[in-house]
Amino acid sequence: MEATKEKKVLLKVEHLKQYFPVKTDSFFKPKAFVKAVDDISFQLFEGETLSIVGESGCGKSTTGRAILRLDEPTDGKVYYSGQDILHFNKKEMRKLRGELQVIFQDPFASLNPRQTVKQILNEAMAIQEVVAKPKRMDRMLELLDYVGLPPEALDRYPHEFSGGQRQRIGIARALAVNPKLIICDEAVSALDVSIQAQILNLLKKLQRQFGLTFLFISHDLSVVRHISDRVMVMYLGKVVEIADKKDLFDSPLHPYTKALLSSIPVPNPAIQRERVILKGDVPSPIDPPSGCRFHTRCPFATEKCKLEEPALRELGTNHFVSCHFAEKLAQ
Ligand code: SF4
């Protein structure tokens, strides 16, 4: 995959694998692994939002966790600003965690219920040593202002806030350490639609203000359409398509992407879109199908699909797809 020339690559993932061992019921049985992420490569450009989408179990959240080394990857490389971070020691990694932040789906679970907002923000700044103690109060008030919370919020506990407000606290905590890259893992999935829109608009505003880069993980294509510059579609641990948002939504090339997009409700009743219903369930990542992993559910599968794994090929400008017959199916 070629980098777009004028853009700076902030994160480069090469042949990333994340396998988790599964218990077998017999000592003599060979070890089995859940191949949650299986040899994926992509790049993230500075200042952009790249979304990762796919059904539950496709490996999108595992990819985020592996990049952050919350789970140590099985294999592959992750370069951040050109540095191979999978070889960073604990001290180097702790320092890097300031620049690489994460916002989770459930802020209630990720915020300490026994800490006030003041303690939560203060702790983040103290760990990363980003703001001197005497200046922290001013910084905390500034952070609350950025995320649209009043100064009184400082002395309150997470349970005293609504879901949307708690997510604002999570965002303030991430901002407290001057991050460059924020991984948003289903960051708005637990919120009502109207609140989702507010948080997405807030993230976009903060991105412009601070030049942030987002890796946005979501199963919700409407949300992805709102926030992304580019979109990467995953299926069963593999990347099946990556493209600029407009290209992906207007001219999807992979049959799986087409099926996913066909499930989004169209606001204009005059526009008819044929719903593609996929047959069967997502196969087990312990024993994924041979060849193209999508062949057990793909309406266009042939013998070749069962035998040969399709490569991720560039078929349009910055539009990559892994399907043997993408050109033919696009006609
Ligand atoms: Fe379908 Fe074959 Fe393309 Fe896979 S390679 S998406 S099975 S047509």
Q: Whose CA is nearest to atom 5 of ligand 1?
A: 323
Same domain, 133 and 92: no
CB of residue 19 inside a 6 A radius of ligand 1: no
Domain of 253 in residue numbering reads as 9-99+179-330
Cβ neighbours of residue 185 under 8 Å, at least 6 residues apart?
A: 61, 64, 102, 103, 104, 105, 217
What is the rounded distance in angstroms from the CA atom of residue 38 to the CA atom of residue 34? 10
Same domain, 220 and 283: yes
DSSP 136: H
Compute, in angstroms, the gap from residue 140 CA to the centroid of ligand 1: 52
> Would you state the pLDDT for residue 3?
47
- C-beta separation of 220 from 184 below 8 A: no
Compute, in angstroms, the gap from residue 122 CA to the centroid of ligand 1: 51
Same domain, 199 and 268: yes
Which among 173, 206, 222 is the end of a domain? Answer: 173
What is the rounded distance in angstroms from the CA atom of residue 44 to the CA atom of residue 237? 18
279 pLDDT more than 90: no
Same domain, 204 and 81: yes
- C-beta separation of 84 from 96 below 8 A: no
The pTM of this model reads 0.92
Give the pair of three-digit tokens for residue 309.
């794994």
The domain that holds 28 is classified in CATH as 3.40.50.300
CB of residue 255 inside a 6 A radius of ligand 1: yes
Same domain, 159 and 287: no
Q: Which of 18-27, 208-217, 256-265, 282-291 has the lowest mean pLDDT?
A: 18-27
Q: Is residue 300 domain-resident?
A: yes
In this prediction, residues 42-63 reach a mean pLDDT of 96
Compute, in angstroms, the gap from residue 220 CA to the centroid of ligand 1: 23
Same domain, 307 and 198: yes
What is the rounded distance in angstroms from the CA atom of residue 77 to the CA atom of residue 15? 7
Q: Is residue 43 domain-resident?
A: yes
Q: Is residue 136 domain-resident?
A: yes
Number of residues that this document lists for the chain? 331
Tell me the best of 321, 323, 327, 328 to mutate to test the pocket of ligand 1, counting ligand atoms within 8 Å of each CB and taking the most: 323
What is the rounded distance in angstroms from the CA atom of residue 312 to the CA atom of residue 305? 14
CA angle 207, 227, 321 (to 5 degrees): 120
Q: Is residue 167 domain-resident?
A: yes
For residue 130, the surrounding DSSP H or E stretch is: none
Atom of ligand 1 nearest to the CA of 329: 8
Cα of 254 vs its chain's centroid, Å = 20
For 183-227, what is each residue's pLDDT tens digit?
Answer: 999 999 889 999 999 999 999 999 999 999 999 999 999 999 999
Q: Into how many domains does the chain fold?
A: 2
For 280-292, what is each residue's pLDDT tens digit?
Answer: 888 999 999 999 9
What is the rounded distance in angstroms from the CA atom of residue 103 to the CA atom of residue 207? 14
Tell me the best of 234, 235, 279, 295 to mutate to test the pocket of ligand 1, counting ligand atoms within 8 Å of each CB and taking the most: 295
Which among 150, 173, 196 is the end of a domain? Answer: 173
> Would you state the pLDDT for residue 267?
66
Same domain, 169 and 315: no
What is the rounded distance in angstroms from the CA atom of residue 331 to the CA atom of residue 56? 30
Atom of ligand 1 nearest to the CA of 324: 5
Compute, in angstroms, the gap from residue 45 CA to the centroid of ligand 1: 29
Same domain, 249 and 124: no
What is the rounded distance in angstroms from the CA atom of residue 156 to the CA atom of residue 161? 8
Q: Is residue 104 domain-resident?
A: no
Coil, helix or strand at residue 267: coil
* Cα→Cα distances 215→4, 232, 319, Å: 18, 10, 18
Same domain, 183 and 166: no
How do strand 75-80 and strand 83-84 relate by DSSP bridges? antiparallel
CB of residue 252 inside a 6 A radius of ligand 1: no
Q: CB burial class (10 A; 0-12, 13-18, 19+) of residue 10? A: buried
Q: Is residue 32 domain-resident?
A: yes
Sign of CA dihedral 196, 199, 202, 203: negative
Same domain, 208 and 321: yes
CB of residue 301 inside a 6 A radius of ligand 1: yes
**Of 185, 171, 13, 8, the residue nearest 84 (C-alpha):** 13
For 57-105, what is each residue's pLDDT tens digit?
Answer: 899 999 999 999 999 999 999 999 999 999 999 999 998 988 999 998 8
Percent of the chain with pLDDT over 90: 79
Q: Is residue 1 domain-resident?
A: no
What is the rounded distance in angstroms from the CA atom of residue 2 to the CA atom of residue 318? 8
Half-sphere exposure of 245 (CA within 13 A, CB side): 16
Which among 124, 158, 173 is the end of a domain? Answer: 173
Atom of ligand 1 nearest to the CA of 255: 6
Cβ neighbours of residue 133 under 8 Å, at least 6 residues apart?
A: 126
147 pLDDT more than 90: yes
Compute, in angstroms, the gap from residue 325 CA to the centroid of ligand 1: 7
Q: Is residue 207 domain-resident?
A: yes
Backbone angles phi, psi at 187, to 5 degrees: -65, -25
CB of residue 295 inside a 6 A radius of ligand 1: yes
Give the mean pLDDT of the chain: 92
Same domain, 253 and 156: no
Cα of 19 vs its chain's centroid, Å = 18
Same domain, 262 and 279: yes
